[in-house]
Amino acid sequence: MEIKYYVGVKFEKASKAYYFGTDIDDLSVGDKVVADSVRGIQIGTIATESFPISTYKSELALKEIIRKATDDDLLIYDENKKRSVQAVKISIEEIEKLGLEMRPIEAEYSLDGSKLTITYVADDRVDFRELLKILASKFHCRIELRQIGSRDKAKMVGGIGICGLPLCCATFLPSMEGISINRAKNQMLSLNIPKLSGHCGKLICCLLYEDEAYSEIKKEFPRIGETFKRGDKIFKITGINVLSRTLKIESDEDIEFAKLEDVKPLLGDKNERAKFSK
């Protein structure tokens, strides 16, 4: 096949579209196609317009779209999904017999039935060589066992977050970044790890959403520990609240809460602030 175009194709369980080469010149967004993917022959959905291959700049080799999906292809696809459910049940039974510490999440047949990919989670590495032999004899096709982490599991299984909405990773997040506890500290959240953890057991992804805004707003605030003079008293800043724009200030006698705008004029220039902070 002479590749004339490249186009984005999204698969059912994928979080983003992948580019494939094709010579089909009448593809439209939403069309079902049969593509030769890294997981074998799969049904996918066209997710972008077609682009001339001359504009393709990536060094990655393009796999190809084989054809538009036919009614027979879609029937086989639906049948394979039913077979996949049964494959998970059989896998669980064999894993329990062997006493392996692994938990299958889902299975997926390639369209032609030549390959079965079983996705599982495990805390450690698992020697599944014996399991592969057993499963290959039962399913009569090539078996791939694919281990994923707890965050990928949450993305695949889904659920409801602490906000009451479906999990971000299972709905719209194309990728998942590593979340540091420093983001929680930056947003001055109580470091209660269980409350800050999602279904996956990792820190919740939404700590990313407002982190940049907090960092920007906090530039307007003085540092905790700075001191200033008001009347005949010296106050130290011991806390800030960026949402209410207030400061917690303490003197030898009192603890007060003051508006940022009221304290700013009292802070003076940096030299004066440094002198009081010593």
The predicted pLDDT at position 275 comes to 43
DSSP structure class, residue 54:
G
Q: What are phi and psi of 275, to 5 degrees?
A: -65, -45
CATH of domain 74-148: 3.30.300
Alpha-carbon span 54 to 3, nearest angstrom: 10
3-state secondary structure of 216: helix
pLDDT tens string 122-153: 988 899 999 999 999 999 999 999 998 888 88
Alpha-carbon span 204 to 211, nearest angstrom: 12
pLDDT tens string 151-166: 888 888 888 988 899 9
Nearest to 3 by CA among 61, 47, 49: 61
The predicted pLDDT at position 48 comes to 95
- 12-16, 87-91, 182-186, 206-210: lowest mean pLDDT where? 12-16
276 pLDDT more than 50: no
3-state secondary structure of 208: helix
Pairing of strands 63-68, 18-22: parallel
The mean pLDDT value for 160-188 works out to 86
User: Letter for the amino acid at 252?
Assistant: D
Domain boundaries, the chain: 5-69, 74-148, 160-213, 221-277
Q: What are phi and psi of 46, to 5 degrees?
A: -65, 125
250 pLDDT more than 90: yes
* Cα distance between the two ends of the chain: 76
188, 215 contact by CB (below 8 A): no
- SS3 track for 113-169: CCEEEEEEECCCCCCCHHHHHHHHHHHCCEEEEEEECHHHHHHHHCCECCCCCECHH
Q: What are phi and psi of 98, to 5 degrees?
A: -85, -10
Cross-strand pairs, 46: 9
Tokens of 236: 């130290």
DSSP structure class, residue 175:
S
185 pLDDT more than 80: yes
What is the residue whose two structure tokens read 């990728």? 175
Alpha-carbon span 197 to 192, nearest angstrom: 9
Q: What are phi and psi of 97, to 5 degrees?
A: -65, -40
Tokens of 132: 């592969």
- pTM (2 decimals)? 0.68
pLDDT tens string 28-78: 999 999 999 988 999 999 999 999 999 999 988 999 999 999 999 999 999
Place 268 in a pLDDT band, splitting at 50, 70 and 90.
Answer: low
